[in-house]
Structure 1
Amino acid sequence: MTEQSRPQELPARLLTDPEMIKACRARDIASVFRLVKIKAGIYPSMIGKRCGLTPSRVGEVITGRRQLQHMDVIERISDGLRIPGHMLGLARRSWETPQALGVAEREGREEQGPTQQQPVSLPGPDVDSILAVATCTSLSAATLDAFRSSIEDYWRRDDQHGGEALRPAIVGQLRYVVGLLEESRPLTIRNGLYSVAAELARLTGWTYFDARQYSQARTYFTQALQLAKETDDRQFMANVLACMSLQATYQDKPADALAFVSAAQDQARSALGTTPRVLAMLSMREAFAHATLGSRDLTHRAIGDAHRHFEQIQAGDADPSWVTYFDESKLIVDTGIAHGRLGEAATAEPLIADALRREHRANKRGRAFHAFWLARTQLDQGKLEQACQTATQALEPASAVASERVSGHLREFHEDLAPHRDEPVALAFEARLRALLPVVSGSIRP
Structure 2
Amino acid sequence: MSGPQPHRALPAELLADPEWREACRRRDFTRIFRLLRQKAGVYPSRIATLCEMTPSRVGEIMAGRRGLAHIDVIERVADGLRIPGSMLGLAHRPWEIPAREGAWERVAPPARPAESEPAAALEPGESLDGLLALADGQITRSTLAALHSSVEDYWRRDDQHGGAALRPAVVGHLHYVTQLMHATDAALRRDVQCLAAELARLAGWACFDARQFSTARTYFTQALKLAHGQDDRLSMANVLSCMSLQATYDGNPNDAVTLACKAQDAARTAGDQPLVMSMLHMREAFAHAMLRDPASCHQAIDRSRDAFDRARGYEGEAPSWVRYFDEHKLLVDTGIALARLGEASRAEPLIAEGLRREKAAQQRGRAFHAFWLASAQLQQGKLDAACRSAGLALDLTASIHSPRVAGHVQEFHRRLGPYAREAPVIAFEQRMREALG
Regarding TM over 0.5, the answer is: yes
Structure 1 residues 48-101: Cα deviation after superposition (integer angstroms, max 9, x where no partner): xxxxxxxxxxxxxxxxxxxxxxxxxxxxxxxxxxxxxx53xxxxx6x84xxxxx
Secondary structure in 2 matching 1:396: helix
How do residues 225-240 of structure 1 correspond to structure 2 at under 5 angstroms?
Answer: 225-240=224-239
Counterpart residue number, 1:327: 326
**TM superposition shift of 1:184:** 4.6
Displacement, 1:269? 1.5
1:383 offset after TM fit, Å? 0.5
1-structure distance, mates of 2:212, 2:237: 22
Shift of 1:165: 2.4
Q: Which amino acid aligns with 2:214?
A: S
1:18 corresponds to which of 118, 124, 128: 118
Structure 2 CA distance for aligned equivalents of residues 340 and 409 of structure 1: 14
SS at match of 1:181: helix
Paired residue type of 2:139: L
Q: Cα 1:133–1:15, aligned 2, differ >3 Å: closer, same or farther?
A: farther
The alpha carbon displacement at 1:21 in A equals: 6.6
> Is the contact made by 2:134 and 2:179 (CA closer than 8 Å) also made in structure 1?
no
How well do the aligned residues superpose, as a CA RMSD in angstroms? 2.1
Name the structure 1 match of 2:172: 172
Give matches, 1:177-326, under 5 Å: 177-187=177-187, 189-271=188-270, 273-313=271-311, 314=313, 316-326=315-325
Q: Structure 1 residues 293, 142: CA separation in 2 closer, same or farther (over 3 Å shift)?
A: same
- Whichever residue aligns with residue 17 of structure 1, its letter is E
C-alpha separation in 1, matches of 2:334 and 2:341: 11
Shift of 1:270: 1.9
- Which secondary structure state, in structure 1, belongs to the residue aligned with residue 214 of structure 2? helix
Q: Which residue identity lines up with residue 159 of structure 1 in the other structure?
A: D
C-alpha contact 2:274 2:314 (8 A) present in aligned 1: no
CA distance in 2, matches of 1:292, 1:363: 26
1:406 matched to 2:405: yes
Instruction: Answer yes or no: is the 8 Å Cα contact 1:16–1:171 preserved in 2.
Output: no
Distance in structure 1 (CA, Å) of the matches to 2:115 and 2:143: 25
Q: Distance in 2 between matches of 1:15 and 1:377?
A: 37
Q: Work out whether residues 245 and 258 of structure 1, in 8 Å CA contact, stay in contact via their aligned partners in 2.
A: yes
Q: How far off is 1:415 after superposition? A: 0.8
The alignment partner of 1:245 has SS state of: helix
Residues 425-445 of structure 1: per-residue CA shift (max 9 Å, x gap) = 10110111122124xxxxxxx
CA distance in 1, matches of 2:116, 2:431: 39
Q: Distance in 1 between matches of 2:166 and 2:154?
A: 7
> Equivalent residue of 1:312, what SS?
helix
State the shift of 1:146 in Å.
1.5
Instruction: Check whether the contact 2:217–2:243 (CA below 8 A) recurs between aligned residues.
Output: yes
In the other structure, the counterpart of 1:145 is 145
> Does the 8 Å CA contact 2:138/2:183 hold for their aligned counterparts?
no
The residue that corresponds to 1:53 in the other structure is none
* Cα pair distance change 1:294/1:15, threshold 3 Å: closer
Deviation at 1:19, TM superposition (A): 4.1
SS of the aligned residue for 2:182 comes to coil
Distance in 1 between residues matched to 2:427 and 2:376, nearest whole Å: 19
Q: Where do residues 348-359 of structure 1 align in structure 2 (5 Å cutoff)?
A: 348-359=347-358
Check conservation: 2:244, 2:255, Cα contact below 8 A.
yes
**Contact 2:368–2:405 (CA under 8 A) maintained in structure 1:** yes
Q: Is the 8 A contact 2:282 2:334 kept in 1?
A: yes
| Contact in 2 for aligned 1:280/1:306 (Cα 8 Å) | yes
What does 1:60-99 align with in structure 2 at a 5 Å threshold? 86-87=124-125, 96=128
- Give unpaired runs (5+ residues) of structure 1: 1-12, 26-85, 88-92, 97-127, 439-446
Residue 134 of structure 2 contacts residue 180 of structure 2 at CA under 8 Å; is this kept in 1? no
Report if aligned partners of 1:368, 1:395 keep a CA contact under 8 Å in 2.
yes
Contact map agreement 2:115 2:215 (CA 8 A) in 1: no
Matched position secondary structure for 2:183: coil
Q: Deviations over 1:244-282 (max 9, x none)?
A: 0100111111111111111111111122x3410000000
Partner residue of 2:3?
none
Q: Secondary structure at the match of 2:346?
A: helix
Q: Matched residues in 1 for 2:355 and 2:365: separation?
A: 9
Q: Is structure 2 residue 367 aligned with structure 1 residue 341? A: no
Aligned to 2:389: 390
State the SS of the aligned residue for 1:427. helix
> Hey, what does 2:365 align to over in structure 1?
366
What corresponds to 1:123 in structure 2? none
Structure label with greater radius of gyration: 1
Deviation of 1:169 after TM superposition, in Å, equals 1.0
User: 1:227 offset after TM fit, Å?
Assistant: 0.7
Measured in 2, the distance between the counterparts of 1:312 and 1:340 equals 26
Structure 1 residue 133: Cα displacement: 6.2
| Alpha-carbon contact 1:339-1:347 (below 8 Å) kept | yes
The CA deviation at 1:142 is 2.6
Partner SS, residue 205 of structure 2: helix
Give the SS at the match of 1:282.
helix
Separation (CA, whole Å) in 2 of partners of 1:417 and 1:433:
13
User: C-alpha separation between the residues in 1 aligned to 2:135 and 2:333?
Assistant: 43
**% identical aligned pairs:** 53
Q: Which amino acid aligns with 2:305?
A: H
Q: What's 1:77 paired with?
A: none
Higher relative contact order (CA 8 A, sep 6+): 2
| Cα contact 1:339–1:348 (8 A) shared by 2 | yes
- Unaligned runs of at least 5 residues, structure 2: 1-112
TM-score, normalised by the number of residues in structure 1: 0.69
Change (3 A) 1:21 1:405: closer
How far is 1:162 from its partner?
1.7
- In structure 2, the CA distance between the partners of 1:233 and 1:178, relative to structure 1 (3 Å rule), is same
CA distance in 2, matches of 1:254, 1:288: 8
Q: How many corresponding residue pairs? A: 324
